[in-house]
């Protein structure tokens, strides 16, 4: 019993002393900060609003799940391609930024219904019912398509001026400087993610861009090439200011573009819940606690909470999101799974969102830095898609799986880079977003082939 009491850590229903609670909460904010901010920078959403929405959505998630699941909600890269394509579409070309965000918001809010529906199905019929609709042979290639459709965005951003325009071929020197900054960011982020351990090992998405910004500043002083972005006239002044809140504007185009992407986030969210269940119950056992934490059995609550988070974030002007693996890793390393810590982290994030100098500093980050970061992050999404199929032991020699995976990949990638690079597939007079079209086709094809296989087996 003596050894049990020496085990350090906090279970979900335990609260650390206030000074420890604040330090743990700040760490959780630091861990979620780089990825959440990167999504805002890539999609063009307001940074302050995105951070505020992350904190508010986390609070709502924790309350909806009965304070039983210690997870943090942050902006998801899975939605970047759909949101970016929508905001860059010719249909919205003549609209201002806030109007574009408002239209995207409607699709984000509606995407929350997908997660909520999935959660209700799991609660009623069990996890197997969801896996029948989108097995790994569907969700894996969807994740891959999401990343591949972003490849051009990453490469373009890596060679972009502070003004937002592509560097012209004739300006070879400035082009070289932008690529140096992007490559330094990329390589530094990779090295930090591979070689740093412990607390610092959770911060490669923060440390890498810092290195890129330092190099960009050195280049500015030494050569006069300024890659830092100029703050817009709408940038806030003073010390504190409220985020820019916008309301959703109904748009079926936004629904078609964004809503299907929620399907691809369900396996990721599910994996996080099972991972968390193992960590928490292992700590409970080591601490000598007789209590069983039924986190894995609350998968339905988790998906409903994710959907509520999307609706809350989308309603005030934030991107769609999901629960963060980075925060789970931080909890696993520190053995701090306290829900109280996540509540505190949410409040701290919302306060930071109102701190104007910090938000403006983040906005000024060179686009080349973001481009270098994107090359790594978008590629990592590809790897996650492959990992999903490996983990679920997808039979790559099955004719059914080959058909589903092949068609999803070609429709998604071909739709992005064909048709003048619009990202939309012309279909009976309509413009179908490539990722959404690939996802829907893959799901329907898998269901159709499943029916045929069942009949064959029954015969």
> Per the structure block, which two tokens stand in for 437?
């079209």
Confidence of residue 169 (pLDDT cuts 50, 70, 90): very low
Say how far apart CA 251 and CA 398 lie, in whole Å: 39
How far apart (Å, rounded) are the C-alpha atoms in residues 429 and 411? 18
Top-confidence range, 63-77, 186-200, 364-378, 380-394? 63-77
- Percent of the chain with pLDDT strictly greater than 90: 28
pLDDT of 166 > 80? The answer is no
pLDDT, residue 335, reads 82
pLDDT given for residue 162 in this prediction: 55
| DSSP-H helix ranges across 318-425 | 325-334, 339-352, 356-363, 367-391, 399-417
CA torsion through residues 338, 25, 310, 148, sign? negative
Enumerate long-range contacts of 220-223, CB under 8 Å, 24 or more apart.
223/173, 223/177
Q: How far is the CA of 313 from the CAs of 54, 112, 260, 308, in angstroms?
A: 7, 10, 17, 8
With 80 as the cut, is the pLDDT of residue 232 above it? Answer: no
CB-based contacts of 46, cutoff 8 Å, min separation 6: 40, 101, 243, 244, 317
CA atoms within 13 A on the CB side of 400: 18
Q: Is the pLDDT of residue 19 over 80?
A: yes
Q: Which residue has better confidence, 102 or 176?
A: 102
Dump pLDDT digits (tens) for 352-374: 888 888 777 777 888 888 888 88
Convert the pLDDT of each residue in 276-316 to its tens digit: 888 888 888 888 877 888 887 888 899 999 999 999 999 99
Question: Residue 148: how many CA atoms within 13 Å on its side-chain side?
Answer: 22
> Range with the lowest mean pLDDT among 21-35, 150-164, 372-386?
150-164
Mean pLDDT of 194-214: 80
- In the numeric block, the tokens 């937002």 are attached to 164
State the Cα–Cα distance between residues 379 and 393, nearest whole angstrom: 21
Supply the pLDDT for residue 117. Answer: 92
Residue 10 three-state SS: strand
Do the Cβ atoms of 107 and 113 come closer than 8 Å? no
Work out the pLDDT band at 208, boundaries 50, 70, 90. confident
Q: What b/e readout covers 287-319, taking b as 16+ CB neighbours within 10 angstroms?
A: beeeeebebbebbbbbbbbbbbbbbbbbbbbbb
**Mean pLDDT over the full length of the chain:** 83
Q: What are phi and psi of 336, to 5 degrees?
A: -115, 100
Q: Which two tokens stand for residue 442?
A: 């893959």
Domain that holds residue 155: 2-458
Most confident range, picked from 60-69, 159-168, 252-261, 369-378: 60-69
- Whose tokens are 């995976």? That residue is 405
Task: Say how far apart CA 325 and CA 149 lie, in whole Å.
Answer: 23
Split at pLDDT 50, 70, 90, the class of 270 is confident
- The secondary structure of residue 68, as a DSSP letter, is -
pLDDT band at 417 (very low <50, low <70, confident <90, very high): confident
pLDDT for 247: 93
Give the tens place of pLDDT for each residue, 90-99. Answer: 788 888 889 9
Predicted local confidence at residue 62, as pLDDT: 95
How far apart CA 126 and CA 434 sit, in angstroms, is 31
Listed range (13-22, 43-52, 244-253, 428-437) with the worst mean pLDDT: 428-437
pLDDT at 444 > cutoff 70? yes
* pLDDT range class, residue 456, cuts 50, 70, 90: low
> Residue 72 has what pLDDT?
93
CA angle 379, 382, 387 (to 5 degrees): 130
- How high is the pLDDT of residue 61? 95
CB 307 within 8 A of CB 116: yes
Q: Report helix angle 299-316 to 47-64, nearest 10.
A: 150
Q: 401 or 380: whose pLDDT is higher?
A: 401
The token pair at 350 is 């919302």
**pLDDT tens digits, residue range 53-66?**
999 999 999 999 99
CA dist 375 to 116, 121, 180, 407, Å? Answer: 32, 36, 14, 25
- Of the listed ranges 116-130, 233-247, 285-299, the one predicted with least confidence: 233-247
Largest Cα–Cα distance of the chain, in whole Å? 76
- Is residue 409 predicted with pLDDT exceeding 50? yes
- Is 170's pLDDT higher than 50? no
Check residues 262 and 344 and name the one with the higher pLDDT.
344
Give the bridge partners for 74, in sequence order.
322
Instruction: Name the H helices within 65-150.
Output: 80-87, 97-125, 127-133, 136-148
- Confidence band of 457 (pLDDT split at 50, 70, 90): low
Number of domains in the chain: 1
User: 174, 167 in Cβ contact below 8 A?
Assistant: yes
């Amino acid at each position: 019993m003596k050894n049990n009491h020496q085990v350090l850590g906090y279970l979900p229903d335990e609260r650390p002393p206030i000074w420890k609670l604040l330090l743990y909460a700040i760490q959780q904010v630091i861990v979620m900060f780089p990825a959440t901010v990167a999504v805002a920078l890539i999609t063009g959403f307001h940074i302050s609003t995105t951070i505020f929405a992350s904190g508010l959505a986390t609070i709502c998630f924790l309350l909806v799940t009965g304070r039983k699941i210690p997870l943090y909600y942050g902006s998801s890269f899975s939605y970047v391609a759909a949101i970016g394509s929508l905001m860059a579409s010719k249909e919205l070309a003549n609209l201002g930024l806030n109007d574009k965000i408002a239209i995207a918001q409607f699709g984000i809010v509606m995407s929350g219904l997908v997660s909520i529906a999935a959660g209700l199905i799991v609660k009623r019929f069990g996890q197997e019912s969801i896996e029948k609709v989108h097995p790994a042979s569907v969700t894996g290639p969807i994740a891959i398509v999401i990343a591949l459709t972003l490849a051009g965005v990453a490469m373009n951003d890596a060679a972009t001026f502070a003004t937002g325009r592509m560097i012209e071929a004739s300006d070879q020197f400035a082009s070289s400087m932008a690529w140096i900054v992007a490559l330094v960011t990329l390589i530094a982020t990779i090295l930090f993610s591979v070689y740093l351990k412990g607390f610092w090992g959770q911060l490669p998405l923060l440390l890498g861009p810092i290195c890129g910004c330092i190099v960009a500043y050195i280049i500015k002083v030494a050569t006069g090439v300024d890659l830092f972005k100029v703050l817009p006239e709408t940038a806030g002044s003073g010390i504190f200011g409220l985020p820019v809140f916008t309301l959703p504007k109904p748009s079926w185009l936004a629904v078609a573009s964004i809503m299907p992407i929620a399907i691809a986030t369900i396996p990721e969210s599910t994996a996080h819940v099972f991972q968390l269940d193992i960590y928490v119950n292992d700590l409970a056992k080591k601490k000598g606690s007789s209590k069983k934490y039924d986190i894995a059995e609350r998968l339905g609550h988790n998906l409903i909470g994710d959907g509520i988070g999307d609706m809350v974030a989308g309603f005030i002007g934030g991107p769609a999101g999901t629960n963060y693996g980075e925060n789970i890793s931080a909890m696993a390393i520190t053995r701090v799974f306290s829900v109280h810590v996540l509540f505190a982290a949410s409040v701290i994030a919302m306060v930071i969102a109102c701190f104007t100098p910090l938000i403006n500093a983040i906005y000024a980050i060179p686009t080349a830095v973001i481009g270098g970061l994107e090359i790594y992050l978008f590629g990592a999404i590809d790897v996650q898609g492959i990992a999903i199929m490996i983990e679920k032991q997808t039979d790559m020699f099955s004719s059914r799986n080959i058909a589903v995976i092949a068609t999803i990949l070609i429709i998604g990638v071909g739709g992005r880079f064909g048709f003048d690079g619009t990202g939309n597939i012309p279909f009976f007079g309509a413009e179908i977003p490539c990722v959404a079209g690939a996802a829907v086709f893959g799901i329907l094809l898998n269901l159709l082939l499943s029916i045929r296989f069942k009949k064959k087996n029954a015969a």
